[in-house]
Amino acid sequence: MARKKKIVEESYIPAPIAEELITDTLEKNYMPYAMSVIVSRAIPEIDGLKPAHRKLLYTMYKMGLLGGRLTKSANVVGQTMKLNPHGDGAIYETMVRLTRGNEALLHPLVESQGNFGKQYSRDMAYAASRYTEVRLDPICQELFGDINKNTVKFVDNYDGELQEPTLLPVAFPNILVNPNQGIAVGMASNICSFNLREVCDATIAYMKNPDCDILDIMPAPDFSLGAELLYNREQMREIYETGRGSFKMRAVYEYDKANNCIEIKEIPYTTTIEAILSKVMDLVKANKLKEISDARDETGLDGFKLTFDLKRGTDPDALMLKLYKLTPLEDSFACNFNLLINNVPMVLSVKQIIDEWVKFRSGCIKNALKFDVDKKSERLHLLTGLKKILMDIDKAISIIRHTEKEEDVVPNLMSGFDIEKDQAEYIAEIKLRNLNKEYILSRTAEIEKLIEEIDELNRILSSDKEVKKLIAKQLTAISKKYGQDRKTRLVESGEIEEYHEENFIDDYPLTLFITREGYAKKVSAVSLRSTTSEHKLKENDEVVQEIETTNKSELIFFTDKCTVYKAHAFDIPDSKVSSLGEYLPSLLGLSEDEKILYTVLAGDYSGYMLFAFANGKMAKVELNNYQTKSNRKRLIGAYSDKSEIRSILWIAEDTQIVAFADNNKVLAVDTSAIPLKSTKSTQGVQVMKITKKGATLVRACRAEESGLDNIKHYKTKNIPAAGSFLRSEDTQMSMF
């Protein structure tokens, strides 16, 4: 038995592991997934719908929910799973966004009853599908019109049991009317919504004149939540022409004088109540919003409302400027007009989107016209055959009566009246009671009308101009029937007063004490004059810098990680000499092992920064290199990291400095001899020659701070220079 087991074990040989390039694996496995997400899930198509939306709406259409009764959402979700292989949760979530109750769309596609959550709330959960009811909104008539006339292509569903449309024959540019957002693989889409009337008018104007200025007709996006759009025509033109860009939106508020509170009535489409309240409460806790005593959500049956209770004496307009700056009450919408055209993702301008929609809609109308022509031609063909028996009805009756076999009736009629098979079958199906002159005359009277209708349809079909006229007529009717006034108001951005923190902060003289361990004490001049206390410091800590300035001044902090941090004096809490002060690494957000080396008063960014390195090199850089247009708080690459930094100095103008090396050498040099460099991370030039192996420069300071009695002895005109040995009769401050 043991021998048999051993033979079995020895006979097992594991299959060799096949080696494959990772690029080949990605191409075979990941690329199909990526393309599936792009083409079949995340990016909308020219009808303004993603596949999940289209499958859901078509299922509701086939269920008779266009103009029908409300039905449980669970029924719709279950039926949609026949077309959409995703789970019920994903399908229901798709439906929620399309409903009137959710308020996400300017023109909702689904009428709803029950709780469907709200676009403006992150935490307001929608009810389960078994509790809510839905049906298609009347505007969906414009999405499904003529869908049964071969206007769009149909394909098999995932199991081949049913057919579904690849697109819906939308009669208006839904791609621009309702917002759409999607994140695919390696690309995304974010299309804002526009006013239906303006879109229809712009489309009609474009069909008449492709060179028209769309901005004159459709000036800016429009959103279901309203709010104010900070309008800049040139900025908007760039978005319209490139399909990319961003614009800002602001909340709309009212001041209730009786209750001394601000009521927010509309918020930007991109934010939520919870995001706003969370930010406001964080600022209140951080003592940066002293004007607000309470903030709460009062949204109810009367609509959206967010309330801020104010403290006595607060200027509501000034406070709102501050809130716009510090909270999501002012937010940006980033546009990315990326959509699928014939299964190819493209970022299009507004005109290009309208042009593609016109092409698509023209194709739908032509398909519908061809369908009507075929149906009417078929009817005309049958009636033409019926007209032939009018000459001899008795003959037709006789042929049918004297034909012995049923299958011979049609051939006998064909030979008897020289008609085709389908015409003969049509005649044979007429009831005997209807084979009379009156019936046949009433039917054949349609022939002339059918001929006229077919000629008219062919005339329209052969002319692109006539097709566009038909599109324009439909757009005008849709605009009149479903159009509504703009919800989002336009406010010229140049007329908007912006919040500048400095305008709302008291300015007063103060002294800033910086310690070696990174503590800062901001002591007002009044407090400093009246105090008799000594500095409270941690053990072995000492004050290394004392800066006299004002509360609105800007400060620049250089750290040992070649990084600069920026802050204002008002960012540092007031303190007293008798306190430890504020720990700057925590206040500025320094990394765990990062230390502040030097603090500079920015002022008007005049003067120079001088960096002295261990290898004897020094770099002189203009302070304005650290000035930025944006309000950046952190700059990397503040100075070179090629050699260890030993001293950092700010000098208003060229002056004399003294450098000390640990080989007991001292060098005095005028900074005018050090060339000015344009880049912050420069290594500078060699100033002090380090002649002794292993020696380094340990410190550089201004001549008046060096403690030397005889500076001239150490001075050099040319650099680099090794310096002179420290004389015993000179006194100095500690080198280390």
Active site residue ranges: 131
Secondary structure of residue 455 in the 3-state scheme:
helix
CA 120 to chain centroid, in Å, comes to 16
CB 549 within 8 A of CB 512: yes
CB 624 within 8 A of CB 606: yes
**Cβ-proximal residues to 340 (8 Å cutoff; 6+ apart), any chain:** 38, 39, 43, 44, 45, 46, 346
CA 352 to chain centroid, in Å, comes to 21
Q: What are the φ/ψ torsions at residue 116 (nearest 5 degrees)?
A: -115, 20
Q: Distance between CA atoms of 227 and 490, rounded to whole angstroms? A: 9
Residue type, 271: T
Q: Distance between CA atoms of 614 and 643, rounded to whole angstroms? A: 6
What does DSSP assign to residue 239? H
**Cβ-proximal residues to 410 (8 Å cutoff; 6+ apart), any chain:** 421, 424, 425, 428
Q: Distance between CA atoms of 248 and 230, rounded to whole angstroms? A: 6
Residue type, 494: G
**Cβ-proximal residues to 629 (8 Å cutoff; 6+ apart), any chain:** none
**Cβ-proximal residues to 154 (8 Å cutoff; 6+ apart), any chain:** 163, 164, 165, 166
Q: Give the count of beta carbons closer than 10 Å to the beta carbon of residue 53.
A: 21
287 CB-contact burial (10 Å; exposed 0-12 / middle 13-18 / buried 19+): exposed
CB 563 within 8 A of CB 594: yes
Closest by alpha carbon to 705, among 631, 633, 651, 645? 651
31: its two tokens: 């690329």
**Cβ-proximal residues to 735 (8 Å cutoff; 6+ apart), any chain:** 660, 662, 698, 699
Residue count of the chain, please give it: 736
CB 579 within 8 A of CB 606: no
CA angle 663, 664, 665 (to 5 degrees): 90
For β-strands 228-231 and 489-492, DSSP reports them as parallel
418 CB-contact burial (10 Å; exposed 0-12 / middle 13-18 / buried 19+): exposed
**Cβ-proximal residues to 400 (8 Å cutoff; 6+ apart), any chain:** 409, 412, 413, 428
CB 230 within 8 A of CB 497: no
DSSP 192-218: ----HHHHHHHHHHHHH-TTS-HHHHS
Cα radius of gyration rounded to whole Å, the chain: 40
Q: What separation in angstroms does the CA of 317 have from each of 230, 324, 498, 682?
A: 17, 11, 11, 47
Is the C-alpha dihedral spanning 249, 251, 254, 259 positive or negative?
A: negative
CA atoms within 13 A on the CB side of 156: 4
Q: Distance between CA atoms of 373 and 82, rounded to whole angstroms? A: 34
Closest by alpha carbon to 596, among 619, 562, 632, 551? 562
CA atoms within 13 A on the CB side of 660: 22
Q: Distance between CA atoms of 52 and 95, rounded to whole angstroms? A: 9
Q: For helices 350-389 and 464-482, give the axis angle rounded to 10 degrees.
A: 110
**What are the residues facing 307 on neighbouring strands?**
263, 296
